Amino acid sequence: MVAAAALLATGCQNASAGFIGMPSMLGSVAKRISFGNFTLPPMAYTQFCMRYQDECKEERIVFRGGPVRLTEQRWADLKEVNNTVNSSISPEPNTEGLAAEKWLINPAQGDCNDYAVSKRSRLLARGWPARSLLLSEVVTSWGEHHLILVVRTSAGDLMLDNLTPQIRAWTRAPYRWVRMQTPRNPNYWAALGNRSVTG
């Protein structure tokens, strides 16, 4: 997504503070994100899939799908991956526009796209199902397009974001939601109706 020079200080950058605790009370707060009509994925996602084909494979759901049960171990996974990726990638905003987007996994330097796909890749490697790890495009309060990872759990849809060290319910993100991968197939994206949540 296009990153302006202002993001050097505020957008698509690393955050290193502590985490909130296990979300035992999120069931009533973190509702599920509802999908709209199918839409085209970001162009950079198509290029990403050409580079990382295994990351874009459709998952076969043999028994049951749906959100993943959020156990203490899975919560520890989320915290560790979020912290590790946020601290291992040095922020480097993309100031050259859409044509310069690369969406790289675990680069030394990168922007919000790289943080999001790196977190998703690490969680996939830990055995998390692809249906629960959805890349989502949002717009920040200062008007920049931004990529985050939404994790669908039994406690609700949670957000891993390089702009905050906290793992938050999607309803607590001050973003305008644009589009997101669908759980059945990561190559299908759905519009989110430009819904805004400021809770």
DSSP, residue by residue, 7-40: GGTSSS----S------TTGGGTSPPPPP-SEEP
Q: Is the pLDDT of residue 68 over 60?
A: yes
- Number of H-type helices and E-type strands within the chain: 3, 10
d(CA 152, CA 174): 19
**pTM (global) more than 0.85:** no
Say how many C-beta atoms besides its own lie within 10 A of residue 34's C-beta: 9
For residue range 13-56, list pLDDT tens digits in order.
444 433 345 555 444 444 778 777 899 999 999 999 999 999 99
Pairing of strands 175-181, 189-191: antiparallel
**Quick one: average pLDDT of 69-89?**
96
Q: Determine the angle formed by the axes of helices 72-88 and 112-125, rounding to 10 degrees.
A: 140
Buried b (16+ CB within 10 A) or exposed e, 92-120: bbbeeeeeebebbbebeebbbbbbbbbbb
pLDDT of residue 198: 35
d(CA 145, CA 137): 7
Q: How confident is the model at residue 5 (pLDDT cuts 50, 70, 90)?
A: very low
pLDDT of residue 1: 42
